[in-house]
Structure 1
Amino acid sequence: MVADEFIVTRDEANAVYNNASATQEEVDGVFTRLANAMHMLEFIKGDKTTLKTFIDKVNELKADKYIETTWIVFEKELAKAQMVYNENVMLEVDETYNVLVKAFLNLRLKPNKDLLSDLINQANGINRANYSAESLKVLDAEVLKAKAVFEDPNASEAKIKAVEVSLTKALVVKLGESVKTGDDNLIGMFTTIALLSMMGYMILRRK
C-alpha cells in the first residue's frame, strides 16, 4: 500500500537526518524517495478511507522512540484527525490529513545515548588519585555537561556526539601527563583509541 511505502521511506529519511556522518548522496537519495512517496499520497487523499488508513498506521508509533517536542505536536494533530474522522466532517478531511502528514514528517527519532551513559558511568568510577587537580576539574565539568545532555529529552545527535568526545578527552588526559607538555598529537591518539575501544564495547554488548 502507498501508506506503507510512505512510512518506510519516512523512517529512512529520519535515520539519515539523525546521522551526523550521512553523505550528500544519501541525503539526496532519501529526499527523492520521500518526495515520490508524498506525491503518491497526493493522488489518494481527499477521502476518509485514506485518512483512516493513515491514522491506523501512525497509531502504531511509540512515543518513547521520538524526541518529546516533536511527539507532542504529532500527538495533538493525531487526536484532531481522529476527531474529524469520527465526527464525519467531510469538509475538513483534506486539511486535517495534510496537517497530520506534516506533523508525522516532523517527528524526530531519539538519538542513542548508550555510549554517553557508559562514559558517564566510567567517569564516575575512576580512581581520582590518578588525575591531577586540574584534570579533575576539567573532568568534573565535562561530566556535568554530559549529564545535562543525557537528561535532555530533546538533545540532538550532534550535541550527544560532541559531549561524548569531550568527556572521552577529559577521561584520557592523565595519559598525556607522562609525555612532553603540549604533545597534542599523542593525546589525540590516545583519545581516538579510547573512542574506538568504547564503540567496540557497545557493538559487542548489543550482539
Structure 2
Amino acid sequence: MQEEVDEVYSELVRAFVNLRLKPNKDLLSGLINQANGLNRANYTSASLKVVDAEVAKATEVLNNPEATVEEVETAIIALTKALEGLVANPINPSVDTSVPEIKPGDTTAGVKTGDNSLIGIFASLSVLSVAGLSLLRKKEN
C-alpha cells in the first residue's frame, strides 16, 4: 500500500514541477487586431513596415502554446511601440476655388453675415400670443 502512495506522490510532484503559468494573450490579440485594422493609406510605408514586422513576431508568440509570460510581454511592448511610432502621411489641403475672392474695398459682392429665419418664428409666436391673450379676455367677460 505504501508503495502505491509513494508512486502516486512522485507522479504528483513531477506533474507539479512541470506546471507552468499560461500567459494571458488577450491584450496581444487586441493589439494585433488593432494593427491589422489600420487604414494603411493614412501612414507612411516605412512606419507600416515596422508595424508589419512586429505583427508577424506577435502572431508567432500568440500562436505558440509554449510561449512564456516574458515573451508575451515583450511582444506587447514591441507592438505597442511600433503602433505609437506610426507616421501619418502628409495631408495636402485642397484649395477651394469655387468661392470668389473678395478684395478689401470691393462693394459689389457682400458677405452674408445674418440669418433671417428666426424672424419668422418670433413673428408667428407673437401673433399666437396676441390671439391667446384676446381669447383669454373674451372668456373672462
Q: Distance in 2 between matches of 1:99 and 1:148?
A: 33
Instruction: Give the secondary-structure state (helix, strand or coil) at the position aligned to 1:103.
Output: helix
Question: Do the aligned partners of 1:130 and 1:174 also contact (CA within 8 Å) in 2?
Answer: no
TM-score by length of 1: 0.39
Kindly provide the amino acid, as one letter, of the partner of residue 106 in structure 1: N
Deviation at 1:141, TM superposition (A): 1.0
Instruction: Give the secondary-structure state (helix, strand or coil) at the position aligned to 2:55.
Output: helix
1:120 corresponds to: 32
TM-score by length of 2: 0.56
Would you say how many aligned residue pairs link Structure 1 and Structure 2?
Answer: 90
Kindly provide the amino acid, as one letter, of the partner of residue 76 in structure 2: E
Instruction: Give the secondary-structure state (helix, strand or coil) at the position aligned to 2:34.
Output: helix
Q: Distance in 2 between matches of 1:97 and 1:109?
A: 22
Q: Distance in 2 between matches of 1:119 and 1:112?
A: 13
Question: Do the aligned partners of 2:48 and 2:86 also contact (CA within 8 Å) in 1?
Answer: no
Are 1:91 and 2:3 matched, yes or no?
yes
Are 1:138 and 2:50 matched, yes or no?
yes
1:187 corresponds to: none
Measured against aligned partners, the alpha-carbon deviations of 1:68-124 in whole angstroms (never above 9, x if no partner) come to: xxxxxxxxxxxxxxxxxxxxx653431331232232243112110110011000000
2:83 corresponds to: 171
Q: Residues 60-75 of structure 1 correspond to what in structure 2 (within 5 A)? A: none
Kindly provide the amino acid, as one letter, of the partner of residue 15 in structure 2: A
Relative distance call for 1:176 and 1:126 in structure 2 (3 A) is closer
1:156 corresponds to: 68
Q: Distance in 2 between matches of 1:139 and 1:127?
A: 13
Q: Distance in 2 between matches of 1:93 and 1:177?
A: 69
Q: Distance in 1 between matches of 2:71 and 2:56?
A: 14
Answer with 1 or 2: which has the greater Rg.
2
Instruction: Give the secondary-structure state (helix, strand or coil) at the position aligned to 2:24.
Output: coil
Deviation at 1:169, TM superposition (A): 1.1
Q: Distance in 2 between matches of 1:118 and 1:169?
A: 15
Greater RCO structure (CA 8 Å; 6+ sep):
2
Instruction: Give the secondary-structure state (helix, strand or coil) at the position aligned to 1:174.
Output: coil
RMSD: 2.2
Kindly provide the amino acid, as one letter, of the partner of residue 18 in structure 2: N
1:106 corresponds to: 18
